[in-house]
Amino acid sequence: MADDFSYCETLVREADKDRFAAALFAPAPHRRALHALYAFNAELARVREHAREPMPGEIRLQWWRETLGGARPGEAGPVAAALIATIARYRLPLSVVMEMIEARSFDLYDDPMDSLAALEAYAEKTSSALIRLAAQILNDGDDPGAAEQIRHAGLAHAIAGVLVAFPLHAARRQLYLPRDVMSRHGARAEDVFAGVATPELKAALAELRDVARGHLSKIVIADVPGGLAPALLPAALVGPTLKRLERDADPFAPLPLPQWRRLWLLWRAARNPQRIVGY
């Protein structure tokens, strides 16, 4: 079992440096569980990358459903084994975990994101759900509350992530930029896939940045118990990320925040959780 959690720690350190750093600010007794949860999220996030085609990806997601649901005893790999132990120890709601898996089916296909409402629903079931489960771990298995703060933190973080990954998605002919947002500005999917940064496309991306900022502004840190702050720490990167994206002339070649600055922002927010929303 210890080896399973060590495997998760290594995976998160390599695949999700931001959440690995955030977990360092959590109480030591809960870090292994956070590593298991974040390793699971990293595995889901890269299903398309590993599967290449929708069908193998769907098979992989079904494997996760069956393994976590108890239908494949003895077949769990290290991440699944650590997550199963974490779910049991911290009484994590399996329904939320299953919704995270279900939402990732969208990643396997090239269907466009129909609307902003659809994007927010996707973000709730992935990013917000992840924060909610991390908060329950930090709350020693009890319902963490602060549902609205967690929801907005997840939405802000997910939408910022969509904007950062915009060039990658465009190269794959995936469109997470909602079609209703694009229509409002006259942006065209063919320009996205051709890598043409039209004024209309830039306007649509600017609206999405405003949506992310709107969610960030709705987080009331005073309503989040202090012990839960490490679960929300990645949201401290949202404001600076959006500001950086706003300065980039070419949305197809954004300059990421340097890793040293990301670590500094997380450290600063850990010392003063108000910095999660005030950057």
List, for residues 109-137, the tens digit of each pLDDT value.
999 999 999 999 999 999 999 999 999 99
Q: Which residue has the higher pLDDT, 136 or 226?
A: 136
26-77 pLDDT, tens digit per residue, is 999 999 999 999 999 999 999 988 877 889 999 999 999 999 988 777 777 9
Question: Mean per-residue pLDDT for 71-87?
Answer: 88
What local confidence, expressed as pLDDT, does residue 129 receive? 98
Please report, for the chain, the start and end positions of each structural domain, with discontinuous segments joined by +: 1-92, 110-279
Burial category of 72 from C-beta neighbours within 10 Å (exposed 0-12, middle 13-18, buried 19 and up): middle
What integer pLDDT is reported at residue 4 of this predicted model? Answer: 96
For domain 110-279, is the CATH number 1.10.600.10? yes
- Does residue 88 have a pLDDT over 80? yes
Q: Which amino acid does the sequence have at 20? A: F
pLDDT of residue 50: 81
* CA nearest neighbour of 208 among 234, 235, 187: 187
Q: Which of 251, 219, 212, 218 is nearest to 233 (CA)?
A: 219
Radius of gyration (C-alpha) of the chain in whole angstroms: 18
For the record, the structure tokens of 149 come out as 């703060």
DSSP 8-state assignment for residue 137: H
The stretch 72-90 carries a mean pLDDT of 90
Q: What is the token pair recorded at 146?
A: 């602060």
* Separation CA 264–CA 100 (nearest Å): 29
pLDDT of residue 248: 79
Rounded to whole angstroms, the Cα distance separating 2 from 82 reads 9
Q: Does 166 have pLDDT greater than 70?
A: yes
Q: How far apart are CA 11 and CA 37, in angstroms?
A: 11
pTM of the model: 0.95
Could you tell me the end-to-end alpha-carbon distance of the chain, in angstroms, rounded to an integer?
A: 40
Q: Give pLDDT, residue 2.
A: 67
User: Cβ-count burial of 161 within 10 angstroms (0-12 exposed, 13-18 middle, 19+ buried)?
Assistant: buried
| 1: pLDDT strictly greater than 70 | no
Mean of pLDDT over the chain = 95
Q: What per-residue confidence (pLDDT) applies to 270? A: 96
**Which residues contact residue 8 at a Cβ distance below 8 angstroms, ignoring those fewer than 6 apart?**
32, 35, 36, 38, 39, 78, 79, 82
Q: Report the distance separating Cα 151 and Cα 183, nearest Å.
A: 27
